[in-house]
Amino acid sequence: MRLPRTAEAFAPAKVNLTLHVTGRRSDGYHLLDSLVVFAGIGDSVTAVRAAKTSLSVIGPQSAGVPAGPENLVLRAAALLRPAVPAALTLTKRLPSASGIGGGSADAAATIKVLTALSRQPMPGRDETLRLGADLPVCVDGRPVRMRGIGEILDPLPSLPRFWIVLANPGVNVSTPEIFRSLHRRENAPMPIVLPRWTDFADFVAWLAGQRNDLEWPAQTIAPAIAATLSRLRAAPRCALARMSGSGATCFGLFENGTDAAAAAAALRSDFPCWWVEAAPRLD
C-alpha cells in the first residue's frame, strides 16, 4: 500500500459553553463538567515526509510561539511509535494560551496528520491525556459533554445551528492562578440528563442557567475580560456571552452569520488591538 507524502489537518477553536468545576482530585487535578463545541476558525498543521522531524510556525498569531521541544506539536509527534519523521508546519490563527484550546487543537491535528502519513492507529485516550486535559476532546473534535479531568466524553443531544463571535482583549491570564483563586471547588455539575433542545432560543435559555466557574476569578485577575463580556452582551442580537475555558477569550452566540459578522466588525472597529473572529459552530 502506497503511503501519502503529505497530510494536513484543521485545528479548530474549542469553546467551553459551560465549565463547572465540580471538585479536585488528590493529585491536584480539577474535576470538570463542560459542554464543548468547536468553531469554524482555527490553526492548521501540515506534515511532509522527511528524514527527521522539524517544526516551523507561521501565520498571523505566530509571534512568540516556540518551535522547540516545548511546543505541544512536537510533544504530540513523539507519541507515535514507531516515529513518523516529518517536516511539520503550524499555521497559527488562534491566540496562544487564550482558553480556546489552541495548543491542544494543534497537538490533536499533529496526531491526525502523522497517523494519516503512516496509517498507524491513533494513540489511546490515556496517552493523549498525558499532554493535557484538552487533548482528548480536541482529538474527538465534535460537540461533547466533557467530564472528569477531560477523559470522559459523552455525545450530546442534537444542537441547533448557531454562530460564535470570539473576542480576546490581548491580556495574558495564568490558568493555575485562576484555579488557585477559586473560592469553591466543589460546585454543582450540569444536570445528569441533558435536555433535548428544540431550537436556538431553547438552547440559549438553558445555557443561561449554567456557568463558567472560572469566569469570576478570571475577571478579578484581568478586568479586561469583564469589559470584553460587556461589549459582547451589548452587541445587537447577541443571545448569550460568556468566557471560554480559563480565558481570556470570550464568546457571544448569534443565531445567524449576518448578525455575528456585524458584531465582529463593530468590535474590530472599536477595539482594533483585540483579536475578534466570527465563525459557525462545527458539527
Q: Which of 14, 106, 112, 259 is the catalytic position?
A: 14
Q: Are 139 and 105 in contact (CB under 8 A)?
A: no
Cell representation of residue 11: 485545528
| 92 included as an active-site residue | no
Calpha distance 237→233 (Å, rounded)? 9
Asked if the peptide bond before residue 133 counts as cis, ω within 30 degrees of 0, the response is: no
Q: Which of 33, 43, 106, 134 is the catalytic position?
A: 134
| 33 included as an active-site residue | no
Catalytic residue list: 14, 134
